[in-house]
Amino acid sequence: MSFQALGLPPLLVKGVRAVGYTDPTPIQLRAIPLILDGHDVVGAAQTGSGKTAAFVLPILAGLLDRPRALRALILVPTRELAAQVETNARDYARFTKLNVGVVFGGVAIGPQERMLRVEGVDLLVATPGRLLDLHGRQSVAFEDIECLVLDEADRMVDMGFAPDLMRILRMLPDERQTLMFSATMPPALNKVADYALVDPVRIDLAPPSRPAAGITQAVYPVPRHLKTDLLHRILSGGPIGSMICFTRTKHGADRLGRQLLKRGHAAAALHGNRTQSQREKALRDLKRGRVTVLVATDIASRGIDVDDITHVVNFDVPHSPEDYVHRIGRTGRMNATGDAFTFMAPEEKKDMAAIERFLGVALPRVQLPDFDYTRRTDPGAAEDREPRRERERGHGGSRGHSSDRSSGGPGGSGRPSLAPGAASPVEHGRRPKPGRGRKRM
Ligand code: AMP
């Protein structure tokens, strides 16, 4: 079935064709007619399924040909996702007169106020905190809102946004359509959902316990202090198009990014402590192939929309099975194939077992043939711990370029050190709570 046959107006069908979509995805086939009909919808759609277009297109259709006012609001957990949803919405709306805007924290509020007050928008994509700030400054009004979307709602609740969501909900007109997309249903979201939605239709196409079919998963049992070396060996051993490597902490992401650079790999780190422009640059570099490995935390990974990720590496086993599924969903998008490797230290076996129970499969254990798993030290650790001044002089001659894989990179010949290169398990900043006790939708 074509986009036109789903009931979308020609101007939007033209926009969708211009971005290169020919056929609707399954979630789009299900959701678009329901949303056009005015239903409240709860969708449990897998990342990469095309869910953004599934709600943005019918919303834009409802906004066409009516006086300009802020009538549709899309709330998302992170600035990356906000920017991505806005870009998609602008693309789809390019042949219409509709204005699409985005607001999120971490950047100056002034230009966002000007955009809302002077230019005006029909559809606004926002993170909850910044939206409330703008409302408090009377820069945005909610009385014309006809449609609200809570995208990645479980993640918003995980990140502590439930009170902000409730505050926003209380200010919106009762007469409105509400759409909620969420992979899981944590208890705190129940309350928000009960308040927000009226008699919703449920769409549950690809439950998060089923990663996309094209993803090959494997577990690498490895002592924690040898994980960086194992990653270095994998990166040196064969063609890696682009990789996202997940760590549990921001500190761990920074540290691993530095270690990889030092060993000659084109790496960058993406996490919440980075400025917006640093985060955008890291994503741009990955998309353009300037960076091969993006080291990211779970929260930062939300909204990473890069189609050709060939490898996902869980450098640390994620705390919750849902995080595992979200992480590996970064590869194998839109029916492509990809590899998802999980590095499992002995102390992480329990978390890995919980993930396998959740998935309902036992994942294969893999060992790299000539890798010495019994070493007591990481050969690269001495380099990783060199004095700061040395580091700043710039050891890694290949920084910012793809690695010299044939030589195995500088790390492989590093002298052994007594200092283990273990990543610190200390948590910095907010992270989602383990998903225990969650009810799947
Ligand atoms: P999402 O799940 O919304 O993050 O979308 C995942 C990716 O699929 C994005 O890169 C979209 O641009 C792309 N996409 C969405 N719908 C379609 C479609 N019908 N045909 C091809 N690509 C699509």
- Return d(Cα 59, Cα 73) in angstroms, integer: 10
Question: Residue 52, Cα to own-chain centre: how many angstroms?
Answer: 13
CB 179 within 8 A of CB 30: no
Give the contacts of 212 (CB within 8 A, at least 6 positions apart).
46, 48, 206, 329, 332, 333, 335
Do 4-205 and 215-418 share a fold?
Answer: yes
- Given a cut of 50, the residues of the chain with pLDDT beneath it are 207-209, 335, 383-441
Q: What is the pLDDT of residue 280?
A: 77
Q: Is the pTM of this model over 0.85?
A: no
Determine which residue's CA is closest to atom 20 belonging to ligand 1.
21
User: Which parts of 238-379 fold into alpha helices (H)?
Assistant: 250-262, 276-287, 298-301, 321-328, 349-359
Q: Are 299 and 273 in contact (CB under 8 A)?
A: no
pLDDT at position 155:
87
- Residue length, the chain? 441
Nearest-atom index, ligand 1, CA of 22: 20
Mutation probe of ligand 1 site: the residue of 8, 12, 25, 51 with most atoms within 8 A of C-beta: 25
Q: Which of the four CATH numbers 3.40.50.300, 2.20.28.10, 3.40.50.620, 1.20.59.10 does domain 215-418 have?
A: 3.40.50.300
Q: Give the number of other CB atoms < 10 A from CB of residue 283.
A: 23
pLDDT tens for 49-107 read: 789 999 999 999 999 977 679 999 999 999 989 999 999 999 999 999 999 999 999 99
Q: What is the position in ligand 1's atom list of the atom closest to the CA of 23?
A: 19
**Six token digits for residue 343:** 């590095």
Could you identify the atom of ligand 1 that is nearest to the CA of residue 52?
3
Name the CATH architecture for the domain at 4-205.
3-Layer(aba) Sandwich (3.40)
Residue nearest to atom 13 of ligand 1 (CA): 50
Which residues on adjacent β-strands are paired with residue 124? 73, 101
pLDDT of residue 116: 96
CA distance 210 to 18: 31
Residue written as tokens 């998302």? 76
Count CB neighbours of 162 within 10 A.
18
Q: Where are the domains of the chain?
A: 4-205, 215-418
Structure tokens at 85: 């949803």
Count of Cβ atoms closer than 10 Å to residue 213 Cβ: 9
CA atoms of 424 and 441, how far apart (whole Å): 34
| Sheet architecture: strand order including 243-246 | 215-221, 338-344, 311-314, 243-246, 293-296, 267-270
Cβ proximity of 220 and 228 under 8 Å = no
DSSP string over 57-77: HHHHHHHTTS--S--EEEE-S
Q: How is the beta sheet containing 100-103 ordered, strand by strand? A: 100-103, 123-126, 72-75, 147-150, 177-181, 41-43, 201-203
Structure confidence at residue 102 (pLDDT):
98
Determine if ligand 1 sits within 6 Å of the CB of residue 25: yes
| pLDDT tens by residue, 338-374 | 788 999 999 999 999 999 888 878 888 988 888 899 8
Looking at residue 431, its pLDDT comes to 28
Residue 395 has what pLDDT?
33
